[in-house]
Amino acid sequence: MEIQVPGMKQHLDAEGVLILHFDSPGERVNLLNAELLRGLDALLDAARADRSVHAVMFGSAKPGMFVAGMNVAEIAGVTDAATAAEGARLGQSVFQKIEDLGKPSLCAINGTCLGGGTELALACTFRIAADDAGPIGLPEVKLGIIPGFGGSQRLPRVVGLTAALDMILTGRNLDARRAKKIGLVDRLVPAAYLSREGLALLKEARGEGPEAVARRLRRPRVWHQRALEGIGPLRRLVIDQARRKTAEKADPTHYPAPFRALDAIDAAFTQPLSTGLDTEARIVGELVPTTTSKNLCWLFGAQTELKSSAVRAAAPRPIRRIGVLGAGIMGGGIAQLAADKGIPVRLRDLRYDAVLTALKTAHSVWDYKVKRRRMTEAERGAKMAFIAPTLDTSGFGQVDLIVEAVVEQLAVKRKVLAEIEPRIGARTVFATNTSSLPIGEIASGAVHPERVVGMHFFNPVHRMPLVEVIAGPRTSPEAVATVHSLAVRMGKVPVIVQDGPGFLVNRILTLYLNEAMQLLLEGVRIDAIDRAMLAFGMPMGPFALLDQVGLDTARHVGGVMVEAFGERIGGSGSMLDTMIGDGEPGSEERPGFLPLSRRKAQTSRQRIYQLIGDRRPRGRFHRRRSRSAWFWRC
Ligand code: NAD
């Protein structure tokens, strides 16, 4: 065929199968863009007209990478609804041509298949995947939009209402096995046989007819699924429930995308495909120009850049296994995450009960997935086996990197480093999870200070995306690069920072939390402040966050910041001192900002107001002295 498409290789085999391989030149990933889509559009017209083409097979020339979606920079550059909707219609019409080809089409997914990649696959007659392929999904809501190339219409038709809701509303990706289980993929094959099996399937389709092969490959929907989708009131019940659940997690003013995705999914069951596609394009047009989408696209770009190897100054050491010192909240979390990613972990604590608690907590994190059928019990068992607990230092000689997560005291951290250094390999990296201590000081007594580096995870480790990688004054570029690449492997966004007080996050956070406490001291109620920040778009109010961080930790970090910056940073240390007092956390003498139960809410709040010396009556408008804003005192 004469038509050349940039970013795509083509070949017509002897059996009349037009093999189209995505291959963006000079790039690590295959991305769709308007130019490629227009080229593909013309190519599909030619393939339809060409009698020597009997079938079309899509694949990729890049290992482990099918198509990672539309180029986000292109989406970010669109600022008006009409252009955005037009862009969606272009993709829709090209993929519709695949569906209307009049010849069988097959998508051979060999790895990452996201957004437009998945939408292209959904338009094909068959989808097969390598058994190690993935992530597969429609993550558009994470960019503040909805799938716009037919995904919101075809996915519900292919996998059913509940599975489609789960994928589209959360933007969650699947591995190939799960994609097969929900019916998104028809057949799994070993990666090496992907092409061969694809061609074989197309041959079967030519002999038996595509419908007969599809019937053989696909399980019919079970009766209750059909009932949910086919009976209007039942379907609306499911969609309303999904809307309520979404509203618990996101505010439609700040995050309209999942709510609009629900409207599009509803259309998939109530409108013919062509009308549904039109609804989808209109919603895309509405969402693309919003500030939310622009900010999320920027965030995506920034995160991608931070993960890229270009930010590293040296090559990382390969990590085969790691050691974790301290099995508390953080050490346990880090061990769980490493095991989840298939990295063997030696986990040490001085206390038997700490190790047991860490194992129990790790089990419960996976249990959450098992209960939601995102993981089998056998998989959980296999992951648990990656954590090898110990009370001594045995096994630490074999690890490539150690994450230290013992208590936040300089003397203890130095002692732990001095104790482990003679027992570890010649190039083992020592990463400390300190939240506030200077890396330079932790490393000052070390034999190899160049191997000491900060790796600051946030709590809870399995959920918080950021990891600060802190280069001390003597840390080697190799140690920084190793921690950076480990963080990426653990699914985190690493940000490389200098060894300054508060690093990056606490430097910003301290000011924010101080301001919240200052407002409280000036008479604004806890609930009002938290609510105001939630309405502003924060995922959690400052006092809810303070409770989660822990008052002692907040006091300690605040102290470090005040010591470094003095009046510049201000501080609410005395208030926290008063609140911390001598009481145990959660006790009546020492209430948290957010009471554990509703019943205790009033007394807990009153106690805090009393502790900070606030005796003004509640329930009045109150004008702050130092600022002009009015706040409702609840
Ligand atoms: P934690 O008190 O929950 O756990 C510390 C654990 O270390 C305890 O189980 C203790 O028995 C153990 N330990 C003490 N000395 C040890 C030694 N010599 N060898 C092995 N284990 C030893 O503390 P955490 O909250 O997990 O914090 C650990 C580190 O992570 C601190 O530096 C803290 O500042 C930092 N951090 C904490 C958070 C948080 O939210 N908790 C967030 C980020 C960073």
Least confident of 219-228, 485-494, 602-611, 624-633: 624-633
In the predicted structure, residue 630 carries a pLDDT above the cut 90: no
CB atoms within 10 A of CB 573: 17
In the predicted structure, residue 591 carries a pLDDT above the cut 70: no
Residues 284/145, Cβ–Cβ less than 8 Å: yes
DSSP string, 176-200: HHHHHHTTSSSEEE-GGGHHHHHHH
- What is the pLDDT confidence band of residue 578, given thresholds at 50, 70 and 90? low
Q: Which pLDDT belongs to residue 557?
A: 84
Q: Which pLDDT belongs to residue 522?
A: 86
Mean pLDDT for 24-31 is 93
In the predicted structure, residue 611 carries a pLDDT above the cut 80: no
In the predicted structure, residue 529 carries a pLDDT above the cut 50: yes
In the predicted structure, residue 595 carries a pLDDT above the cut 80: no
Which residues face 173 on adjacent strands?
none
- What is the pLDDT confidence band of residue 187, given thresholds at 50, 70 and 90? very high
Which residues face 108 on adjacent strands?
128
Q: Quick check: CB of 433 below 6 Å from ligand 1?
A: yes
pLDDT digit string, tens, across residues 457-473: 998 999 999 999 999 99
Best CA proximity match to 477, nearest among 432, 429, 436, 441: 429
For a substitution probing ligand 1, which of 325, 330, 463 has the most ligand atoms within 8 Å of its CB? 330
Instruction: Report the nearest atom of ligand 1 relative to the CA of 457.
Output: 43
pLDDT digit string, tens, across residues 433-453: 998 899 999 999 999 999 999
Ligand 1: which residue has its CA nearest to atom 36? 435
The catalytic site residues sit at 468
pLDDT digit string, tens, across residues 340-358: 999 999 999 999 999 999 9
In the predicted structure, residue 629 carries a pLDDT above the cut 70: no
Cα angle 434, 435, 441 (rounded to 5 degrees) comes to: 50
CA dihedral 446, 452, 458, 460 (to 10 degrees): -80
Q: Which pLDDT belongs to residue 553?
A: 80
- What is the pLDDT confidence band of residue 372, given thresholds at 50, 70 and 90? confident
Q: Quick check: CB of 234 below 6 Å from ligand 1?
A: no
- How much of the chain exceeds pLDDT 70, in percent? 91
Q: Quick check: CB of 396 below 6 Å from ligand 1?
A: no
Q: Which pLDDT belongs to residue 619?
A: 44
Ligand 1: which residue has its CA nearest to atom 3? 328
Phi, psi at 21, each rounded to 5° = -110, 125
Instruction: Report the nearest atom of ligand 1 relative to the CA of 408.
Output: 32
In the predicted structure, residue 319 carries a pLDDT above the cut 80: yes
pLDDT digit string, tens, across residues 374-389: 899 999 999 999 999 9
Q: Quick check: CB of 434 below 6 Å from ligand 1?
A: yes
Q: Which pLDDT belongs to residue 585?
A: 57
Mean pLDDT for 611-627 is 50
Q: Quick check: CB of 327 below 6 Å from ligand 1?
A: yes
In the predicted structure, residue 547 carries a pLDDT above the cut 50: yes
CA distance 383 to 402: 19
CA distance 450 to 426: 12
- Tokens representing 81? 């609804």
pLDDT digit string, tens, across residues 333-342: 999 999 999 9
Length of the chain: 634
Instruction: Report the nearest atom of ligand 1 relative to the CA of 548.
Output: 40
Q: Which pLDDT belongs to residue 225?
A: 83
Please state whether beta strands 136-137 and 322-325 pair in parallel, antiparallel, or not at all (unpaired). Answer: unpaired
Q: Quick check: CB of 405 below 6 Å from ligand 1?
A: yes
Q: How far is the first Cα of the chain from the last one, in angstroms, to the nearest whole number?
A: 72
Q: Tell me what the pLDDT averaged over the chain comes to.
A: 90
For a substitution probing ligand 1, which of 392, 406, 555 has the most ligand atoms within 8 Å of its CB? 406
Ligand 1: which residue has its CA nearest to atom 28? 405
In the predicted structure, residue 517 carries a pLDDT above the cut 50: yes
Ligand 1: which residue has its CA nearest to atom 4? 328
Q: Quick check: CB of 435 below 6 Å from ligand 1?
A: yes
Ligand 1: which residue has its CA nearest to atom 14? 406
Instruction: Compare 419 and 594 and report the one with higher pLDDT.
Output: 419
CA distance 448 to 441: 13
Instruction: Compare 555 and 189 and report the one with higher pLDDT.
Output: 189
Instruction: Report the nearest atom of ligand 1 relative to the CA of 329.
Output: 26
Q: Quick check: CB of 460 below 6 Å from ligand 1?
A: no
Burial 303-317 (b: 16+ CB within 10 A, else e): beebbeeeebeeebb
Instruction: Compare 311 and 54 and report the one with higher pLDDT.
Output: 54
Cα of 104 to ligand 1 centre, how many Å? 58
pLDDT digit string, tens, across residues 211-248: 999 998 888 888 888 888 888 899 999 999 999 999 98
CA dihedral 431, 437, 439, 443 (to 10 degrees): -90
CA distance 471 to 483: 10
Q: Which pLDDT belongs to residue 594?
A: 63
Cα of 442 to ligand 1 centre, how many Å? 15
Q: Which pLDDT belongs to residue 563?
A: 87
